[in-house]
Structure 1
């Protein structure tokens, strides 16, 4: 996933109250990391494939996954945000809810005032 696209998706998730972060993966790849209850994290689209899928990790161990979402290779950013928000992670093989839960209180953007300094002014 493109770094700027991943950053915009993370910002949109945080506006919905979802604890999303930019995931940097070796090999100059980017994705989205969502913090989940119980110390788990969902790592979305960090493998460089066209479709949207995730691995659910706890303490570096795979504890579940989200299979590739049908048609996700053509999703725009808002559809990606909606798909991540609709995912139910309570089972080892996660599934998509028919409707996303209501948005929570917005979370602040990661980096705050110094965000552009920390990221080296690479985006607009």
Structure 2
């Protein structure tokens, strides 16, 4: 996933109250990490493939996954946001809910006033 696209989706997730973070998984390789309430983390689109999928990890061990979402290679940012928000992680093989839960209280954006300094002024 392209860095600025991942950053915009993370910001939109945090605006909906979902604890999203920019995942830096390699040199110029980015994805989205969603922290789940029970200590697990879902790592979305970190493998560089066209389709949208995730691995669910706990303490570095794979405990579940989200299979490739059909048609996701053509998703725009809003559709990616909706797919991540609708995912139900309760089973080892996660599934998509019919609709996303209502938005929670927004979370602050990571970095605050120093965000552009931390990121090296790489975005608009």
Superposed CA offset, 1:4-47 (max 9, x none): 00000000000000000000012320000000021100000000
SS of 1:49's partner is: coil
Aligned pairs for 1:6-21 within 5 A? 6-21=6-21
Q: Give TM-score, length-normalised by structure 1.
A: 0.99
Partner of 2:70: 70
Name the residue aligned to 1:40.
40
SS across alignment from 1:13:
helix
Unaligned runs of 5+ residues in structure 1 are none
CA displacement 1:33-92 (0-9 Å, x = unmatched) = 000021100000000000000000000000000000000000000000000000000000
Residue number in structure 2 paired with 1:79:
79
Using structure 2 for the length normalisation, give the TM-score: 0.99
Runs of 4+ in structure 1 displaced over 2 angstroms?
A: none
Structure 2 residues not aligned, in runs of 5+: none
Paired with 2:12 and 2:38, the residues of 1 have a C-alpha distance of 23
State the aligned residue count: 124
